[in-house]
Structure 1
Amino acid sequence: MDTVDRDVEDLLRDLAPQVLGVLARRFGDFATAEDAVQEALLAAVTQWPVEGLPDNPRGWLVQVAYRRMVELVRSEAARRRRENLAATREPDDRRAAPAADKELGADRDDTLVLLLLCTHPALSPASAIALTLRAVGGLTTAEIARAFLVPEATMAQRISRAKQRIRASGVPFRMPDVEERPARLAAVLHVLYLIFTEGHTASVGPDLRRVDLAEEAVRLTRTLHAALPDESEVAGLLALMLLTDARAAARTGPGGELISLADQDRSRWDAVAIAEGVALVTWALPRGPVGPYQVQAAIAALHDEAASAEETDWPQILALYEVLERLAPGPVVSLNRAVATAMVHGPAAGLAALDALAADPRLAGHHRLPAARAHLYEMAGDRKRAVADYGAAADLTTSLPEQRYLRMRAARLTATRHQG
């Protein structure tokens, strides 16, 4: 869509999951419907700049995609029964787009159902992320491949396998039952969180942040929040994203170098995003049940509302990490709780908490453990051990900005030690 006006591109991205939902609900074939919608989007990209925006853009896309769907179904001899079913329901070519829109029930927005389908438990997290970005986010396979630094062919295979898994599972295109819904919603939130996390701090490559992924995660979570305004954990996740992303402009220096939270220029933080995030988490927490995203958002709010690093309410942050550890135990949560412990009770207490995590196989080979240990050794004045752990962390991370930051910290401590 490089040659398309930005407003048209945004419109197509918003409409794509809605049109896909119409076709998937009508035909019950997600994979073929996705192909038909992609071709309709391509037609729009080609024709709209020349012919102008149609009066009913969604109806136009639905009609074009529907006709292409019929053609695709007909071309599959092995799917004769579906061919016959589609043929009996083929629309009159002379019908206006709004009529086709009405017949197909396109006034109904199936984006939420589509999100639930793309994050089905039958899919691996990597496949669910790729399929969500393609089907719901409207990103091209090439865009997703670039974001995750893999060849386009590899990402295409991943998306294709995901669609095959959905087809083989026989999952109907509908809202899950009441009993299924909490688990399915949790899967959606997890996938959106993973997309945002990769966007906020890229796991590999030269850039600290993948702006497109971070923004897409926020956009999709806003869509989910609009569909489920009473779900406190959806509001919590949106708040967490906004409060975390609000610091983006201050996280890097002129040369792209990473700047730690304590050293950031807080005047560059996005005050509007912080206010929205605080309002969301303030609304969500009293409504319950309290979930891990709400707690993480509350922690992020405490960081964002502190006028300086020294004014951060670390005792409250430590208490929230202890709550989070009970709600969603895991090594990364325990590691963050250990750092908060150090900020409240001193580096020795924090290092003791980190020592208890050293044997956890889930942290083996992860740079976060030696990085946290190095920070606490630096707080304690043990420069030699801090330098060694900063170096070990730099060797383990695959993020070049983080690697440069860790080596810079080690070099600075080494220089100070020699001067002393």
Structure 2
Amino acid sequence: MNYLEINSSKNIILAVTGGIAAYKSAILVRRLKDYGFHVRVVMTQGAQAFITPLTFQALSGNSVHTALLDSDAEAGMGHIELARWADLVLVAPASCNTIARCAHGLADDLLSTLYLATKAPVWIAPAMNQQMWAAKSTQRNLSILKADGVHIITPDSGAQACGDVGLGRMPEPEVIAEQVHAYFQQTQNTTSLGMLAGKRVAITAGPTREAIDPVRYISNQSTGKMGFALAEACYAAGAEVTLIAGPVCLSTPYGVKRKNVVSAADMLAQSMDALETGCDIFIATAAVADYRVDDIATQKIKKIGDTLDLELVKNPDIVATIAEQAQRPFMVGFAAETQHLEDYANGKLVNKKLDMIACNDVSRKDIGFASDDNAMVVFFAKKYAMPARTLEKAPKLEIAHALVESIAQALQTQA
């Protein structure tokens, strides 16, 4: 049975609140339906000022719900019927006002009453001005919702409609729809379900930034997509996942604990902390800078000549450092190469004392950095007596599930 057949039994209520990001919700309906979900839309009065109910009716194929007291809906008890129908309630965008109302248990419109009446999981995707997002009252309300079991989809950072720049942008519809799909896969996936049950997994992802002065840094083109896909796949396989993320613009996968870092030193510190608190599997997908500036300028360096000399010193090798610890977890490394893939990958596998390494050719334009797809060759340490495994080009989440299977198989040989 494919995922379209599985998802066709799942019902999602998409609740749209007032905000310019409401236009993304129309696309989100389409993306959710592409995954096979049944979608009904609930709109607040504020949402209707930005986009019409007719738009959502046409896209979802269902009537749109806007009123709490609707005599045509289940004898005026439409909110109860909706609450029972839903397998997931997704509020996207979630305005600052809606977040506050749900946090404090108000029930004077359809959405707030639905929130209280449903037993289904509730997800919210906040979208608001960056200062409203940062406000203490907003963060306090979000903490209340988190404590109540609501899943918060972290907003993106970037330019906003008001002209400000910062956190508060609703993630792209494709990203949210993929997270919803992955959530249902957690209990539906027939290949990786339970493969890592009870395991504690730490994953590094994205680039690091090594400061030159207060405004400049050395970095690379890693987007973190592969690491985030692996975090999603490991959680779906039953693991407790800590994602140590460099500076990337990606939403945290459902159920994953995220720790944000900037430099290689920051990433190493968080990796060691994960090891100390308990780690069975360490997956190093991050593209860590090999070198850092020896003497970081305290003030912006002025342009005073045709050349600029920087003294670089070697960064700590995070993978090798973790692999040398007494309580060593199962070590998974990644090798992004442009030539001699097999030789370099096997050399790294041995030199860094890894259990498994996944290697990809980043010289290809259709996979790797910034791409949604990847292709890899996986090698295992000799003690596992496992042949290399080739993973043909596929979406990164699909590649991630295949890597989880490989990890689980290697662990079973040592059981």
**TM, length-normalised to structure 2:** 0.30
More helix by share: 1
More strand by share: 2
**TM, length-normalised to structure 1:** 0.29
